[in-house]
Structure 1
Amino acid sequence: MAVSSFPGFPQEALDFFAELSRNNNRAWFQPRKQAYTEYVTGPAQAFVEILGERLRALSPGIRYDTGLSGSGSIMRIYRDTRFGGDKRPYKEHLGIVWWEGEKKMDNSGFYFHLEPSGARLYAGMHIFQPPTLTVFRQAVADDPTGKRLATLMEKLKSDFLIGGEHYKTVPRGFDKNHPRADLLKFNGLYAGSPVLEPQTLTTPDLVDRCVALATDLLPLHRWLVEVNAGIW
């Protein structure tokens, strides 16, 4: 049955992650899996659908999946501890993604990140796959398309966090004095909203706030969708 409204995340969801951050171990989590389902993933599934339909009104190709396997919109809480020194078994936040294209990690989309101190909405691509990185650089170097990106990024940076810059130098094959040399150093491109306060997360206003932010972020998302599809 389709969800018709979203009342906000319960306060218990924020409390769950606050407690998890102090007790990030299996002995604490295992007896509380039912609470995680009731207060976090259950409401998250409703949020995915409600906001997903609103995002489709902005960009009809948006996709979402309310499944809990990790392949859909809701990120799994379990961390991959095989590499690196951080062996905490659980993520201390909720991550949700809506994407436009076949595979969510290969395409631009919107990402919602919730933790006890608040939440942010992001748009873009965290890391480009090699074919996308190649076409991204070509698009940045192209005058009409690259100028359009530079203009919209200039507008966004006053209110949004900009991420994705990775390389210290301009990649080989491009003029180091290119007018958009800074953008050529990116290996992903995304923008994140100001923090949505905890008191907003537990109210029906959350969906409208996210839609307003997504509207501001839409030009970046559309630019990436078009470039990734090769229609620029």
Structure 2
Amino acid sequence: MLSENTLSFLKKLQKNNNKEWFDKNRALYDEAKQDFENLVEQLITMIGKDEEEISLLKPKDCTFRINRDIRFSKDKTPYKTNMGAYIVRGGKKSVYAGYYFHCEPGKSFVGGGLWMPQPAELKKVRQEIDYCWDEFKSIVQNKKFKSVYGDLSRDAEYTLAKVPRDYDKDNPAAEFLKLKSLVGLHNVADNDVTSKALVKKLGDAFTTLKPVIDFINRSLE
């Protein structure tokens, strides 16, 4: 579970997203950061029981800085108003698919997969989906997967309008071949974030997503 204080800090940051306020309240940030890293350590331990490479990770390998990169953004607020962790073999900059938890008051979610891979990696995944369509279809149409995630995310920003030119438009996997990211997302309510059952809830969601992640990573190996 995460502390109510962690969500409270993020709510206050949403209303005071400036360096002066942040510097005055750095102790609150340090407390929230430690709280989140403690959760990430528990998640690493849990996932690592079945995935040895993940068991070697530390929270710092998975968590993201709270400072925003504002160099090319019209939004010049200096801080993210969320805390996120990408738990994946090789750490958060890995090319492999992994597990993600996003903590943001009113907008928290759990999930994972492969977000915006480079063209070479995306090509491999698409080929695997095409070659092993029956297997992939059985994974994303699994009753448990659909009950938790519904489907892989089809955000218009990360989906092609047409099937990639290497594939026929009538390909049975067409709707998945259009995806530029292959991720599953499931919303988490604030009262679940601060519940003692949080680790189990996230663990169940990760277990449900694991066949998708294993399929993607097999294509990248």
Give me the TM-score of the superposition, normalised by structure 2.
Answer: 0.89
SS of 1:187's equivalent? coil
- Give unmatched runs, 5+ long, in structure 1: 1-7
1:141 aligns with 2:107: no
Once residues 115 and 73 of structure 1 are traced to their aligned partners in structure 2, the CA distance between those partners, rounded to angstroms, is 17
Secondary structure of 1:61's partner?
helix
Alignment correspondent of 1:60: 52
CA contact (8 A) 1:107 1:225 kept: yes
> Structure 1 residues 74 and 102 mapped into 2: Cα distance closer, same or farther (>3 Å)?
closer
**Large movers: runs of 4+ above 4 Å:** none
Q: Report sequence identity in percent.
A: 28
Unaligned runs of 5+ in 2: none
Question: Among residues 8, 13, 19, which one is paired with 1:26 in the alignment?
Answer: 19
- Label 1:102 to 1:10 Cα distance change in 2 as closer, same or farther (>3 A): closer
Which residue is 2:63 aligned to? 74
Q: CA deviation at 1:213?
A: 1.0
Higher strand fraction (1 or 2):
1
**Residue number in structure 2 paired with 1:35:** 28
- Name the structure with the higher helix share: 2
Determine the C-alpha separation between the residues in 1 that align with 2:35 and 2:105.
15
2-structure distance, mates of 1:65, 1:102:
9
Count matched residues: 214
* Letter of the 1:190 counterpart: V
Aligned to 1:176: 169
> Cα offset for 1:23?
1.2
- Map residues 20-169 of structure 1 onto 2, 5 A cutoff: 20-38=13-31, 40-62=32-54, 64-67=57-60, 72-101=61-90, 104-117=93-106, 119-142=108-131, 145-155=132-142, 156-160=145-149, 162-163=152-153, 165-169=158-162
| Distance of aligned partners of 1:139 and 1:112 in 2 relative to their CA distance in 1, 3 Å threshold | same
Pick closer, same or farther for the CA change 1:151–1:103 going to 2, 3 Å: same
**When the two structures are superposed, what TM-score results if normalisation uses the length of structure 1?**
0.85
How big is the shift at 1:59? 3.0
